[in-house]
A = this chain, B = another copy of it.
């Protein structure tokens, strides 16, 4: 981690800096690689344009079922007060368990899935490492809404990720359907950048992972970003995945169904986009939220 110096260049992704907020340019590309890979030209063009891509049946149902069982085991073993365990805002139900690839052989293996890594190389144009892993449980009845946000805004301000040269994978371990709070995205929103109002309080992440209050877009800019773009919920059965740009505006409703919605969430970052000091006055968040050690991933055998 390089020390923060006064020479730091002007930040195109400054956010939560008091006065200036609202829509800004994204000076960086979406697709960083030029080479071939598992995505054909039309898929790659769609990812570039929309900021996301559904990968149906990335894993066979049996492997998804095995990972789901493993997720339930991790949840049962989770101490609610443990650092890497997050509880729902209005109940004592586990919402997320972080760093699951460090806690389980099965998850350590799936992060090195050959197709995922090949897509990552193709889009990000370099080897990649894992910025974050977590299971989002969105528990039956009690799983609450996630409001609109860009993950990159948080990773930039709070973790020091310099550029949006990263993407997320949301891998369904249960079916994701209309009633259990599937991911909702604003297609094309990744090509703008939304500076948020306000600042960031210290130790913000303890609260923000339960209910976000900072790094939340102002309503007027959000409406401008959404205008004419529509909304899409890329649903899918267990084993399917959605990959989406680090800066794509996304949200999800609560889970009103009587069954948990369990997704594995992985963030791949380019090894050429390693974390610096956070783009704020605060110390970086802990490693379970943002890996600072860069270990390039190699595909599982």
CA gap between A148 and B145 in the complex, in Å: 15
Closest to A224 in B: B258
Contact residues of A between 255 and 301, Cβ < 8 Å to B: 256-258
Which of A109-117, A124-132, A161-169, A226-234 lies at the binding interface? A226-234
B253 x A145 contact (CB < 8 A): yes
Q: How far is the CB of A236 from chain B (nearest CB, A)?
A: 15
The answer to whether A254 has its CB under 8 Å from any CB of chain B is yes
* A231-B179, A233-B178 known; A256-B253 Cβ under 8 A: yes
What count of chain A residues pass the 8 Å CB interface test? 24
Closest to A139 in B: B219
CA gap between A254 and B144 in the complex, in Å: 10
The answer to whether A140 has its CB under 8 Å from any CB of chain B is yes
A251 x B256 contact (CB < 8 A): yes
B223 x A140 contact (CB < 8 A): yes
The answer to whether A184 has its CB under 8 Å from any CB of chain B is yes
Q: How far is the CB of A16 from chain B (nearest CB, A)?
A: 19
A254 x B253 contact (CB < 8 A): yes
Which B residues are CB-close (under 8 A) to A140?
223
Which B residues are CB-close (under 8 A) to A23?
none
The answer to whether A141 has its CB under 8 Å from any CB of chain B is yes
